[in-house]
Amino acid sequence: MKKLLSKGKNTFKKVVSGLNIALCSLILSTNSVYAAGSNTSSIDGFITFVCDWLLKIGGVVALIGAVMFALGWQRDDAEGKSRGLMTMMAGFMVIAISQSKGLFGL
C-alpha cells in the first residue's frame, strides 16, 4: 500500500510540474500588442482641458494651504500648521498629477 501511495505521489508531482512548465511557457511566449494606429484625438483635447484646470485648482489649493500655514504660525497653533501643510501638499500633488500628461501620450 505504501508503494502504491508513493508511486501516486510521484506521478502527481510529475503531472503538476509538467503543467507548470506548460503554463509558464505560454505566459512567456505572449506578445505585447500596441494600438499604434488608434485615433484618440477626440479624448486628447478633453485630457488637455482637464489637466489645465487641475493645474489651476491645485495652485489655488496650495495657496490656501500656505495661508492656513501662515495663520497657524500667527496663532501658534500646531494643528493649524499641520492642516495648512497638508492642504498645501495636497495642492502640490494635484499640480503634479496635472503635469502627468505623458501617461496619456500627450
Domain residues of the chain, as ranges? 1-30, 40-104
**Which pLDDT belongs to residue 83?**
94
Non-local (6+) Cβ contacts of 101 within 8 A are: 47, 48, 51
**84 and 68 Cβ atoms separated by less than 8 Å:** yes
Nearest one of 32, 45, 87, 83 to 63, comparing CA atoms:
87
pTM above 0.75, yes or no: no
d(CA 103, CA 94): 15
**Which pLDDT belongs to residue 4?**
62
Neighbours of 17 (CB within 10 A): 10
**Which pLDDT belongs to residue 5?**
66
d(CA 48, CA 3): 70
Residues of the chain with pLDDT under 70: 1-5, 32-38, 104-106
